[in-house]
Chain A
Amino acid sequence: MSSTWVLYRKEMLEMARSYKLIWIPVVFIILGIMQPLTTYYLPEILKASGDVPPGLLEGYEIPSAAVVMAQALGQYGTIGMLVLALGSMNTLAGERYSGTLELILVRPVSPVAIVLAKWFAQLTLLVVALGLGAAGAAYYTEQLIGSLSWGDVIAASGVYGLWLLCVVSATLLFSAFLRPPVAAFLALALMAGLSLGLSILPAWFDWTPAALSGLSAGILIDGEGFRAAPYLSDSILIIICLAGASFLTRKNNFPD
């Protein structure tokens, strides 16, 4: 346990020194506040761009605060996910390829501790980024559009965070045995596959972690969003990723 803590502190120090702890939250904040801003100012933006057929803007109605907030969280499902995958693809792969992992593995440290430390560091980054991003989005939504229940916002962000944690865990797993860009690509492809599956065949995929994004929106819009299956599959997927990454790290498949 104590070696996990030592490794976790090292990961956090690295994130701070490489400014990852700053730029990823900044991206999340920008993504979050863009949604209420563009929604609110859409008529102005359209007018400014010139020829708008008369009557088009009259029909425009600003969606409710809950809907805007749900859309803001939805932004993290694409660009946010990409940023997270790119930001975490180097965690294990970078250390394997540079050889720094070797000097850790000759010490009395279990591979599980190494993987857990990295996962907790990524989780910390995700909590900070998503927390600040969602707070920014909620603040602007509240100011421009209408009031929100803060409890719902926190719950919805948490549920969305569980879905984002999937991509981080999958990247960690793939980076235990593949090159960094391949790891990020496969993790994103897996998440995209689940999302696509859910939108094409909802009945078949509604138990997968991809359904969490819909549940998160449900919490905001109609105040309910509990179905055990997505949470369960999310936890199982994360545990499989961590166990797999630990196993592969133990096997020491170093590139020579």
Chain B
Amino acid sequence: MSLLQVTNLRKSYGAHISVHDISFEIEKGRCVALLGPNGAGKTTTLRMLAGLLEPTSGMISFEGSRPGAEYRKGLGYVPQSPAFYGWMTGQEYVVFAAKLSGMGAKEATSSALESLKRVGLKDDARRRIGGYSGGMKQRLGLAQALVHRPRLLLLDEPVSALDPIGRREVMELLREIREETTVVFSTHVLHDAEEICDDIILMNHGLIAEQGALSQLRSQYSLPVIRLRTEKHKEAIQWLESLASKPFVLESQLLGDHAVFNVNDVEKARQMILQEAAQLEIPLLQFEAGSSTLEDLFMKVVGV
């Protein structure tokens, strides 16, 4: 059963359409990455899902409920840079958040302690938030989003603003959290998505460019590819250009002394290219045979 169903969701600001009639479904228990370059409409989409923005048109249905029904109780949301009251302590804030989601005082306190412990803020729970670091605030953001045990967790760029250590910590947390609840997070880093997600939704210019299970997309877009780099000699570059018209090359990309070829048979192509290079005494710097990754797909969609 799908947890969240989005149909023809659109958000426009005057003539500018920032999310253009997108439709997708999110299955229960999955971890979904909303992927795309800056300005693709990821944040706008998440904010509409969180009920912070009114969609211009389209429907959002949570657990099969009628569109427009109140579902915020089952939702946890962490914005890109969560802002808290600096004069509160971490614990006070999480208890406050739990109470706002309808928990009683006792339950709120115990649940808050549990989720603070979980994100590793137990020792700092009684300190004022004003003195927290960026990574601690991000983890406090997760704690407040988890405290009422939501069925869907929405995270907007959870690791973009963090240093490598903070990033590692949050990714580890997400890996644990995704075992218990459905997670949707936006990112512009493909690597993060590949690390923990089941599905990706690739957005660009307010449209969904590609979506599906990560494993399926990986096999679908995996093509044999050969990368070549030569020294900047005229003959060498001419040779690279001539390779582009070989029968085994499906698609080529030439950038001066650097070339990428999608080929139909990597074995045959490798043999022929290396033979020719030896014959013509081409000063090769780099030769790499392998398969293209989602990174290439991402770049292709984004159009760089």
Contacts and interface: CB of A to CB of B under 8 A. Distances in A.
- The answer to whether A and B come from one shared complex is yes
A104 interface: yes
Contacts of A107: 72, 97, 100-101
A106 B87 contact: no
B82 interface: yes
Interface stretch (A2-10, A79-87, A169-177): A2-10
Given A6-B96, A100-B85, A106 B52 contact: yes
Nearest to A254: B52
A18 interface: yes
Contact of A99 (B50, B70, B81, B88): B81
Nearest to A6: B99
B83 A99 contact: yes
B77 interface: yes
A46 interface: no
A17 B85 CA distance: 11
A103 B82 contact: yes
A109 interface: yes
Contacts of A13: 88, 92
A116 to B, nearest CB: 14
B84 interface: yes
Interface string B83-112: 111011000100011011110000000000
B99 A103 contact: no
- Does more than half of chain B's interface fall in helix, strand or loop, or is it mixed? loop
A18 B87 CA distance: 8
Nearest to B79: A102
Contacts of B102: 2-3, 108
Q: Give the interface size class of chain B.
A: 20 to 34
A98 B137 CA distance: 14
Given A99-B79, A99-B82, A104 B87 contact: no
A17 to B, nearest CB: 5
A108 B99 contact: no
A79 B97 CA distance: 37
Nearest to A252: B52
A14 interface: yes
Contact of B87 (A14, A99, A108): A14
A251 B51 CA distance: 11
B75 interface: yes
B54 interface: yes
B73 interface: yes
A112 to B, nearest CB: 14
Interface residues of A, number: 23
B83 A103 contact: yes
A98 B70 CA distance: 26
A229 interface: no
B182 interface: no
Contact of B53 (A18, A108, A252): A252
A10 B79 contact: no
A108 B52 contact: no
Nearest to B101: A107
A155 interface: no
A100 B141 CA distance: 11
Contacts of B83: 98-100, 102-103
B96 A10 contact: yes
B168 to A, nearest CB: 25
Contacts of A109: 100
A184 to B, nearest CB: 21
B96 A252 contact: no
B144 interface: yes
Interface string B43-71: 00000001111100000000000000010
Nearest to A105: B52
B141 to A, nearest CB: 8
10 contacts: A3-B102, A6-B96, A6-B100, A13-B88, A14-B85, A18-B87, A99-B79, A103-B97, A108-B102, A109-B100
Interface of A: 2-3, 6-7, 10, 13-14, 17-18, 98-100, 102-109, 251-252, 254
Interface of B: 50-54, 70, 72-73, 75, 77, 79, 81-85, 87-88, 92, 96-97, 99-102, 144
Given A100-B85, A102-B79, 10 more contacts: A18-B87, A100-B83, A103-B84, A105-B51, A106-B50, A107-B97, A107-B100, A108-B102, A252-B52, A254-B52
- What 9 A-B pairs have minimum CB-CB distances, sorted nearest first? A99-B83, A106-B77, A107-B100, A6-B99, A17-B87, A108-B72, A98-B83, A100-B83, A108-B73
